[in-house]
Structure 1
Amino acid sequence: MDLYEQACVNDSKKGLEVAIRIGFPVMIKASEGGGGKGIRKSTSRDDFENLFRQVQMEVRGSPIFLMKYADSCRHLEVQILADQSGQAISLFGRDCSIQRRHQKIIEEAPAVIAPSEVLEKMEKAAVRLAKMVGYVRLV
C-alpha cells in the first residue's frame, strides 16, 4: 500500500479515529477538491461526521485525507515545471496566504515572508517529489 492510500480515509468512522489520533482541530480535504470546494475545518468530534459527509458530497468519489489544522501560519507553494524526460525545475516559491473560504485570492511571488533557506529546502523537496512520481506539466 503506498503512502497516498495510507493517508486517505474512506468513511467518517475511520476519519474520526484519525482525527482523534492527530487531535482537533483538523482539516478534512478532498484530494480532488479545489477552489474552496471539498474542504472543511472540524473543531471537535461533535461536528466531524457531518462535515466529513459534506466534503464527500461536494467532491463525489474523491479520496479524502485529514491533516492537523495549522493556525496563524502562511500558505507557501512552489511552482514546478516538469517534462516527459524526467527533468523538473522549480520556477519560484509563492505566498498564497490571502484567502477567502479556503480559496486563494492573491498569489504573491516571489515569496519573501520565509527565510531563503526555508524556500530553498521547499523547492528542492518539490523537485525531488515531482521526479519521484513522474510528474509532467506546469504545477
Structure 2
Amino acid sequence: MRGVVQRVTKASVTVDGEIIGKIEKGLLVLLGVTHSDSEKEVKWLSKKIKDLRIFEDEDGKMNLGLEDIKGDILVVSQFTLYGDCIKGRRPSFIEAAKPEMANKLYEKFIEELKNYNIKVETGEFGADMKVELLNDGPVTLVIDTPENIK
C-alpha cells in the first residue's frame, strides 16, 4: 500500500463539477493499493499517518500531529501510484490492485481513520476526480507499507 501524504491548509475533491470532499488544515492522502495488500497494511498505514508529527509547533519545528492541530484528512484513491514507467513511454499499471480489491481496502482505510475520531472526507472511488490543494510548506511524503508487517 502506498500513500502520498501532503500537509495542506486546504484541499477539496470535485466530481462532475460538485465538491464531494473538502477539508481545511490537515492532510491530503492519495492512496494506492497493490495485489499483496491486506487489512494488515490498512491498519499499519492508517496508524502511521495518524501519528505523523509533521505540523509545526510554536518554534517552527515539526513536532505536532494531526490530533494536536485538530486537523482533518481528505483521502483520494489513486491507482496510478502503482504506475511503472521504467519501460516505454506509457505507464504499466499491472502492480495496481483490481478495482474490487482496491475499493474494499480503500473503504477499510477510511473506516480505520474514522475509528481514531478524525474527521475524514473522501473522493469517489473510480470516478474522474479533480483535486485542489494548497500544500503547506510544501510538505509531501511518500509512505510504502513494509513487506513484513506483524
- Indicate whether the TM-score tops 0.5: no
> Which structure exhibits the higher relative contact order, with contacts defined as CA atoms closer than 8 Å and separated by 6 or more residues?
2
Higher strand share: 2
Which entry has the higher C-alpha Rg, 1 or 2? 1
TM-score, normalised via structure 1 length: 0.24
Higher helix share: 1
